[in-house]
Chain A
């Protein structure tokens, strides 16, 4: 039984840490495929990487229902930590979540379990936060789309391996869709719904 006093800490400086973390996420979203660093330090529950924890402390609050995957909800640590630091409701129904935290991306549920938004309000969609093994090593992926000058190369150990095939629904559904933030330790890469995979390298 973890008491509140034993929970990992949040940001030491709430205001400026949230600001610098947001700018990293904003830059990542504005430049898909580019690796951004999160400088702010925060305590993390065991299942969470530093980047995930910083994003949670920056963007989550009582207005954002959060869905946790099996890895994140293995123990109640993550849910307790989120509740204490952000007041965000942790919910069981992924289809109405604002953010979904995915600790074991190989078991990512089908994307239609999440919210795509509506054609009138495509912003009412779930943002997936996927913790993966590497954002510097792995097969090269060539990406194209708004925010990218020509093409961008991302080298990453993408999990699930068919993530981009699944994200093809973003082409058919646009402007509805799913935005993804990949996290490894303190590095993040964003794949907004406008980004397309053009080629896969070795």
Chain B
């Protein structure tokens, strides 16, 4: 047979060992970014090479994998990564949040509460929360070493001075286990409270920047704020147009060129399971109309 064969889950064993050691250190030092020797993957940077390497290092034949991109199971990135592991590891895949043992995500945390048997793997573009405030790695590393995060508070304060409120709406900085300030990856700040005391293990992989970090289960994760400007979540003030949910994070969808728009759940699995449970929103197709369309 001349067809190329890959090792289980694509990566070679030496690479997996190196990543696995980094993951163990990351869990032992919550929020600290462990450097690792990131490999080139058969996809471009920005498509989740860090998350894919972490997933490849932990995945076993018994796992059930779910991949989401901005909450959706059905976008190109999510589908191609799911297929990648279906092909190279032969693992079962699912779109149901509760059935998955490993969930790789880009920019969202599922709406359904995660349980202890799950691992959430984040794709991270820029792992260093201080990078846009201080470009030098030697300096940011020292700031983390000293726990010196005044600069981050200045940034949030400048938001208040300019806009009257903390205008940072995604990649909102958090403090993990009262020590390290960490970038939660570009998730909307709506998702930040889900990271606190989460039952699942959370792993973060940044491929281009070559960093892995982690939040163990049941660990305190606090969004940075001020006493007089406490952290607030943000969501569009509307129910989901498809399932009527009033508590989920919404995407805004432009429907025409006259200013028409609708808001739908960003988490497709959450929305679909609500619809199948009989919940309806203002734009739901009535069952008889769907039948008429064939």
Contact = CB atoms under 8 A, between A and B. Distances in A.
30 contacts: A15-B7, A15-B8, A15-B13, A16-B60, A18-B17, A19-B8, A19-B59, A19-B60, A22-B57, A25-B24, A29-B24, A29-B216, A58-B17, A59-B21, A59-B24, A61-B18, A123-B22, A123-B25, A123-B34, A146-B215, A147-B216, A147-B217, A148-B218, A175-B29, A175-B179, A177-B28, A179-B25, A192-B27, A192-B28, A194-B216
Interface string B73-98: 00000000000000000000000000
Interface stretch (B141-149, B165-173, B273-281): B141-149
Interface in A97-111: 98
Interface residues of B, number: 42
A160 B14 CA distance: 34
Nearest to A14: B13
A22 B28 CA distance: 15
Contacts of B145: 118-120, 175
A60 to B, nearest CB: 8
B20 interface: yes
Given A175-B179, A194-B177, A23 B58 contact: yes
A31 B58 contact: no
Interface of A (DSSP majority class): loop
Interface string B134-178: 000000011011100000000000000000000000000000010
Nearest to A170: B28
B30 interface: yes
A31 B13 CA distance: 25
Contacts of B29: 122-123, 175, 193-194
Interface of B: 7-8, 13-14, 16-18, 20-30, 32, 34-35, 57-61, 141-142, 144-146, 177, 179-180, 199, 201, 215-220
A149 interface: yes
Interface in A24-54: 25-26, 29-31
Contacts of A30: 27, 201, 216-217
Interface string A136-149: 00000000001111
Interface string A146-172: 111100000000000000000000000
Contacts of A119: 145-146
A174 interface: yes
B218 A22 contact: no
Nearest to B215: A146
A44 B80 CA distance: 41
A131 interface: no
A25 B58 CA distance: 11
Given A19-B8, A61-B14, A175 B32 contact: yes
